[in-house]
Chain A
Amino acid sequence: MIEQDLKNFQKITQKSLPTFEGLAQGHRACQGCGEVLALRQVMKALGPDTIAVSATGCMEIITSSFPQSAWNIPWLHVAFENVAAVASGVEAGLKAQMRKGSLPEKKIFIVATAGDGGTADIGLQALSGALERGHNFVYVCLDNEAYMNTGIQRSSATPYGASTTTSPSGKHSIGQNTWKKDMPAIAVAHRIPYVATANPAYHVDLMNKVQKAKLINGPAYLHIYSSCPTGWRHEIDKAVEISRMAVESRVFPLYEVIDGRYVLNRNVKKPISVADYFKPQRRFRHLRPDDIAHIQARVDADWEALQQKVALTNPASPEPEAVSNKKEE
């Protein structure tokens, strides 16, 4: 089934990057925004025959301040918590009209994008409903690990130990005192055909995942790491570097789940430490060495658990590419 869907899949390489830009330059994102970089890559890979639906959030406000718009493709924003439901309606509307002949038969990709709050918190119900109903669309969570649009408030995707404006570190607080919600696992639990994590520092990998997601029939869920210099308090020229460190430290592993089978896309044989990953981000600077050791143990355990999922669901899995410090080819 999935093999059939992917028969027209043409791997994007560094030399064949799509020239199409669904999202134009000139938007109002903060300097050094890692999220808009990811969004641009997603739209490049989706191409012009796409309808995009955005949840309320950073990406919505920076791209659509009337009378200006950064969108080169048809785009709809309705509210915060409902982007998956809106996308369900877009899919059903096109399907019915094409079947009844009021629209010409044509493949149009539908993408819904939301931040981590719009996905893991307020939008979780609508997302779950849309995944369960099996609409043919791509859902993209651009995870910058807090409510950045409203001013760096914690979400359920904020990592343990991060200081935000509603989980501030202090004499009686470590900052965020809960572990990051595992959204990809929640998506996998819906038994949808395609789930993947991606990271704009690995742009070729990201775009190929978007390509697969759009070609596969049924819902696809992409969880994309999106660094935020404003909210994470890192230097504005460090977005790509920090994104790369997230993978190299095993904090944000790159993997796919195709029809329930886990595939590790980047093997991190010699990880950098969590402490190194935290260093350029001032949201973690209050953490003491024992706090970091505690987090390191969790990262190690999660990595091990992921390896086990691969072994359990996909024993014939090919050896993943090793992570190197060279730029992605």
Chain B
Amino acid sequence: MAKRVGMEVSLGVSEAVKVADVDVIAAYPITPQTHIVEHLAELVANGELDAEFIPVESEHSAMSSCVGSSATGARTYTASSSQGLALMHEILYIVPALRLPVVMTVANRALSGPINIWNDHSDIMSERDIGWVQTFAENGQEAFDLSIHAFRVAEDHSVLLPVIVNLDGFTLTHVVEPFEILDRAEVAKYLPPYKPVQRLDPEHPMTMGAVGIPEVYTEAKKQMEDALVRSKSVVIQAWKEFGDLFGRYYHPVETYKTEGAETLLLTMGSVSETAMTAIDKMREAGKKVGLVRFRLWRPFRFEQFVEAVKGIKNPAVMDRAMSPGGPCGPVAAEVRAALYDQPNRPKVFSFVAGLGGRDVQVSDFEEIVSRAEIYAEKGAPATYDLIGVREI
């Protein structure tokens, strides 16, 4: 039976991994991911979860062990963050190439330097093109639900790709929230045991990780891309079934008070909840503002997004990462690309805020909206605005 609990979100993620009945966890500690893997180690140690916990000596080895484990057909999980994710970088590309449904939680944290353990999205924006399905959680309940959903999508035979569930470090991972925990029996209805299509098996020897010469490399990449594009419908269908079973429905793009909105905030991650508060306040003051939140970052759902922003005059994207030397924040770049081919496309305004744990408050969203309104009228700067930066 599902039960409502007050729990630290990290522990909730570990509970989700437990009820997903994973076989192998390979993990290396990094702030702010630690509570997730500590709790998993505890669950294994006290017999609540029958799994192998490999306390590897680095994140590079964490992901490498995940590859080995998943290649034998084991349900495999890890979690990381920031520098750890960057250290995994090389192997991250190889997991989808081998079509292995590894699931990873990323507790989003700023990348060094300067060294900073607090939240932003610079770690995951550097991993945009690794070929994994990527979702973003806004709150504890979503972190739990998306973790279960991740295994379901990853292991679907028409997908067979790894999945990352992103949650903001500290601002989400370390807060205690009330949410509903599903039990194993309930999750079993939604998530059947993993049946690998192919695995390392002496009865049926196969070669995995062969050399891709120029004559085959492009085709191999095309097959991965096709699978990632196909995953869109699986992601959506799996969310629908999740809703039908457990009553909580999720969509790739969520809208909030967009009816009649002229200026639209676009956000991703836990900051969306602050953004909703800001929208409420501005709506009360008579401003025509709304909010679009991205839950599915890869594959990017252009169709749904375009539908959600139809008729909007001033889309204002708030990125949690910079693209140094580039034209705008990384999410803003995607939004511009999505809208470029639309008739009567709006200008897209790019704002970057909340770097390295800098608090993003309601007033920051008010500032963004008022700047977007001014830019819409008088023309926008060529690049992006860094919100809250001090002149030095």
Contact = CB atoms under 8 A, between A and B. Distances in A.
Contact of B193 (A51, A77, A84, A102): A102
Given A74-B202, A82-B64, A126-B64, A88 B50 contact: no
Contact of B91 (A73, A82, A93, A96): A82
A312 interface: no
B208 A75 contact: yes
A96 B211 contact: no
Contact of B61 (A64, A74, A75, A88): A88
B205 to A, nearest CB: 5
Interface in A206-263: none
Interface in B44-61: 50-52, 54-58, 60-61
* Residue from B26, B67, B206 having most chain A Cβ neighbours under 10 A: B67
B74 A93 contact: yes
A94 B388 CA distance: 52
Contacts of A133: 54-56
Interface string A135-162: 0000000000000000000000000000
A116 interface: no
Contacts of A89: 24, 26, 54, 64-72, 76
Given A90-B69, A129-B57, A77 B208 contact: yes
A93 B73 CA distance: 7
Contacts of A126: 57-58, 60-61, 64
A74 B206 contact: yes
B65 A88 contact: yes
A100 B50 contact: yes
Contacts of A71: 205, 207
A67 to B, nearest CB: 7
B207 A93 contact: no
Query: Interface size class for chain B?
Result: 35 or more
Interface in A90-109: 90-97, 99-100, 102-103, 108
A10 B50 CA distance: 36
A53 interface: yes
A79 B205 contact: no
Contact of A78 (B50, B58, B64): B64
A81 B61 CA distance: 9
A279 to B, nearest CB: 36
B205 A72 contact: yes
B392 interface: no
Contact of B54 (A61, A88, A108): A88
A49 interface: yes
A72 B65 CA distance: 23
Contacts of B202: 48-51, 73-74, 108
* Residue from B56, B60, B202 having most chain A Cβ neighbours under 10 A: B202
Nearest to B74: A93
B200 A51 contact: yes
A128 B65 contact: no
A90 B200 contact: yes
Given A89-B68, A92-B24, A100-B50, A75 B207 contact: yes
24 contacts: A48-B202, A51-B200, A61-B211, A67-B210, A72-B205, A74-B204, A75-B208, A76-B68, A76-B71, A76-B209, A78-B64, A82-B61, A85-B65, A89-B69, A92-B24, A92-B26, A93-B52, A96-B23, A96-B50, A96-B74, A100-B50, A102-B73, A129-B56, A129-B57
Interface of A: 48-51, 53, 60-61, 64-67, 69, 71-79, 81-82, 84-97, 99-100, 102-103, 108, 125-126, 128-129, 132-133
